Amino acid sequence: MSITKKRILAILGIVLTTGSLGLFWAALPALGHESREGVPYSFEVGFVQEPVFRGFPNGVDIFITRTSDDRPINKKKGDVVDLSVEVQLRDREAFDSRIMQSAKLDPPTQAFDVENEYKSWFLPAVVGTYAFHITGTVSDDSDPKAGRQQIDLTFVCGKGSQDTDTEFDCVKAPQLFPSGQ
């Protein structure tokens, strides 16, 4: 079962268990992520909040699982997640698009309430196509076959997605109201 399908089922289970629509709506923005299944780890990457608007704080949102059994990769339980993220502004929505500007973000930190979620925050300053270049090491010592792996992955928003079924939004301009002021 893919990471996205598992996450949707988990969110629906939480909603049914708690009976809380507020929790359901709070969890929905995380569904706009690109999935990349690999050996031995799978990644789901996108913006923390979607849709994403210029001038509002946001960040990269990274979920990591072991591909063979969807086991969450969890630093708090001894797994190693040592990643760097470079945010890139691209010239168009294509995986091979030109990088116009880039900046290294603070190292991703593990989310408080989700065992395999890691975030790094920034403020998108312009409308456009953004990409996340993720490098570093992931290690799951509970599975010798998985072991320590070097990571070098790039995720591009919109039509730049490498997965035909999943993608995350590019940065948009918020609607102004009242207009003319």
* Higher pLDDT, residue 23 or 112: 112
Residue 121 has pLDDT above 70, yes or no: yes
Rounded to whole angstroms, the Cα distance separating 156 from 160 reads 5
Mean pLDDT in residue range 39-47 = 93
Residue 173 has pLDDT above 50, yes or no: yes
For the chain, domains (ranges, CATH) are: 33-160 (2.60.40.1930)
Rg (CA), the chain: 17
* Higher pLDDT, residue 52 or 2: 52
Reported pTM? 0.81
Report the SS3 class of residue 115. coil
Mean pLDDT in residue range 42-53 = 96
Both tokens assigned to 67 = 């591909």
The candidate with the shortest Cα–Cα distance to 79, out of 45, 117, 44, 36, is 117
The beta-strand segments (E) located in the chain are: 34-36, 41-47, 58-66, 80-90, 99-104, 109-110, 117-122, 129-140, 147-156
